């Protein structure tokens, strides 16, 4: 198909990287089709943006707008795919201790390894159960335990899972008891998870502080500053008019400020938007250890920040509306 031919223009090496990334995220779309689809979508939106900006401003602003849009679009797509891959990895890491303990208990009960793996593939483990079944079927088909387990972590971007499976494989190669290896590894994983939770609870206060600074304090301060600038602007205009109507010394001119309320509003909205976006990434980095999870927080942070700024403007305008500059 034509759309797949467009995707192949990216090159085989880069398409392999895209395929690996899609496998991590469990996206079944072929890599060439995935690349071509997003390339066509981005080009259509870019043409619309270029036409709109060129009619409103000039070709320089049009080129800058298209460049920014393409950067934001492809960065967002990559971050979403990476976020899906991280979610799968975190899910595997969360159920892995229970899976290993269940396997260990089955082996201790005298069940054969292939049966122990197949019985451990419970529905509550989600897609991990399918991987456990594949391992059990490979062992039943005559593959060695090491060969069957070596592909368990394939397609999941988790260093913890890779290190865990490598430890188990090293223990099997060294002649260790599989049930003991699985049980000790599961206990170590549970202990590591509890330590992570304690650390997360300790640093949660920093996330709250960043949220309050970016989404609660900053909008109120911007609203107060704009209202104060409006009052001072009225006062400046009044003084200038009085200065012009009286006899002023020669050569002295007093002009009103050129900064308008509309400019200050736009300035505040842009700064609050940027602050909320970066705050969401910082909070995600603190809580999850990965800034990509900040995509989830962006709508909430931006919504709270802009809504509070708007409400603060209304309340301050009603409060200071009765002030008259004489």
281-290 confidence digits (pLDDT tens): 888 888 777 7
158-167 confidence digits (pLDDT tens): 888 888 888 8
Higher pLDDT, 155 or 221: 221
Provide the H-helix boundaries in 246-293: 261-288
Cα 106 to the center of its chain, rounded Å: 39
188-235 confidence digits (pLDDT tens): 888 888 887 787 777 888 888 888 998 889 999 988 888 887 777 666
Of 77, 83, 94, 105, the closest CA to residue 24 belongs to 83
User: What pLDDT, on a 0 to 100 scale, did the predictor assign at position 74?
Assistant: 86
Q: Side-chain half-sphere of 240: how many Cα atoms within 13 Å?
A: 12
Confidence of residue 143 (pLDDT cuts 50, 70, 90): confident
Mean pLDDT of 293-305: 87
Report the largest interatomic distance among the alpha carbons of the chain, rounded to a whole angstrom: 107
User: What pLDDT, on a 0 to 100 scale, did the predictor assign at position 325?
Assistant: 47
What is the model's pTM?
0.70
SS (H, E, C) 204-256: HHHHHHHHHHHHHHHHHHHHHHHHHHHHHHHHHHHHHHHHHHCCCCCCCCCCC
Of 71, 94, 69, 68, the closest CA to residue 158 belongs to 94
User: What pLDDT, on a 0 to 100 scale, did the predictor assign at position 275?
Assistant: 92
């Amino acid at each position: 198909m034509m759309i797949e031919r467009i995707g192949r223009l990216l090159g085989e090496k880069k398409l392999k990287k895209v395929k690996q990334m899609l496998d991590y995220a469990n996206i079944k779309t072929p890599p060439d089709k995935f690349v071509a689809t997003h390339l066509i979508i981005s080009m259509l939106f870019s043409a619309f943006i270029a036409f709109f900006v060129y009619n409103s401003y000039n070709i320089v602003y049009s080129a800058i707008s298209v460049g920014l849009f393409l950067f934001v679009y492809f960065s967002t797509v990559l971050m979403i795919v990476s976020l899906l891959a991280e979610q799968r990895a975190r899910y595997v890491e969360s159920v892995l201790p229970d899976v290993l303990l269940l396997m260990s208990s089955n082996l201790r009960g005298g069940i054969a390894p292939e049966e122990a793996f197949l019985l451990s593939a419970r529905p509550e483990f989600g897609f991990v159960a399918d991987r456990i079944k594949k391992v059990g079927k490979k062992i039943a088909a005559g593959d060695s335990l090491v060969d069957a387990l070596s592909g368990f972590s394939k397609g999941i971007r988790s260093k913890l899972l890779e290190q865990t499976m490598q430890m188990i494989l090293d223990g099997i190669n060294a002649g260790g008891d599989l049930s003991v290896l699985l049980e000790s590894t599961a206990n170590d994983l549970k202990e590591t998870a509890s330590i992570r939770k304690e650390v997360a609870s300790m640093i949660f206060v920093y996330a709250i502080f960043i949220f309050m600074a970016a989404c609660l304090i900053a909008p109120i301060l911007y609203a107060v500053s704009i209202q104060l600038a409006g009052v001072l602007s009225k006062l400046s205009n009044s003084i200038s008019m009085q200065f012009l109507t009286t006899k002023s010394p020669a050569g002295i001119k007093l002009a009103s400020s050129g900064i308008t309320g509309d400019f200050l509003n736009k300035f505040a909205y842009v700064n609050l938007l940027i602050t909320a976006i970066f705050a969401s990434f910082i909070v995600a980095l603190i809580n999850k250890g990965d800034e990509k999870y900040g995509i989830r927080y962006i709508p909430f942070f931006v919504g709270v920040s802009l809504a509070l700024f708007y409400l603060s403007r209304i309340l301050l305008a009603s409060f200071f509306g009765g002030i008259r500059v004489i």
